[in-house]
Structure 1
Amino acid sequence: MNRFAHVWFAIAFVLTGVFVVSLLLATREPTPEAPIAPLPTEEGEASLTLLSPTSGTLEAGQTQTVLWESKSYTSPFIGINLIRKVGDTPARYELVRVIAEKTKNDGSAVWVPAPTTDLGEGLSIELVCVGVRKEACRAGNDGAPTSKIAVINTGRFANTASAYQAIERLNNK
């Protein structure tokens, strides 16, 4: 046998192996994915419910207290995000910023809306489960934000009338 015959034999051997492995993988029975169930507890499904702020106009730079209630939620931590609604059908939200990536699950956290990044309307506070699979915890109203807030910077208005008009526009939407 010449040396090229050895090369062709090696290539044929490798290609045959690849074909056999591909054939075995293609005919393999797919494994069904197990459904992800909520955390098992005596009280029921784990959930986080936002209590405050749920509506209204907040002023940038003023300390706010985010209040929530946790039910059957065993993790000692939660996350808090500020999100903005960007679409209706289906409802879509974008992250404005993380208020608290990981804070104690004690029912309250302090937040000071930033005068640069946190401004606008159509904002919501989102509670996020930390330390458990996201699918195993229901935050708020099945993941849909339950708050509707606006953050304004009163220092940016020329006078009281323009600030009042901005607040009225937010309340009428």
Structure 2
Amino acid sequence: MAPSKKKNFFSQNTLFGLFVGLSFIAVAYAYYRSGRGVSLNPQLNNVILLLSIVGAFIGVRKYRDELPDNCLSYGKALGACTYLIAVASVIYGCFVFYLYRHHPELLENYLTSIETTFKEVYSDSAFTENMISMLKAFTTPATIAFAETFNKIFTGFIFSLLLAGLLRRTRKNEFI
């Protein structure tokens, strides 16, 4: 019985993670086509956060309802939420890598906005130009994709802590 539970965990949550990741890509592509930036865009980050929360809630609730006894502990709910969002984030990270790799103007816009921010925040520092030159040397599509993936996983985990509490269900005859 344990192998079917494990198979159900990965197949169910991977599938919903794929759907959530594709929704991230659809929204990011719409933002890209409308001329807005993909990275460093607070509006896009808020929409993706909303999609993460809704997708994780629906996916883990469906997973919980398909369990034989309909019971899901807090730890398993947290693991399912985190895994689902991690799958979605990796898929989104691959898209961001592809987008920045094949559209160099996005990378230039990204570096320009970071440079402007550095000059505003650290205008009095003697190391501003050194920091900007190091940033330009080390910023690649891969580092942007990694940062986006890590950011989505981390924020998804934070909200998974709340979602797991909402989605857990214990046995009715179990005393806590």
TM band (smaller chain): under 0.3
Q: Give the greater-gyration-radius structure (CA).
A: 1
Richer in strand (by share): 1
Q: Give the structure-1-normalised TM-score.
A: 0.26
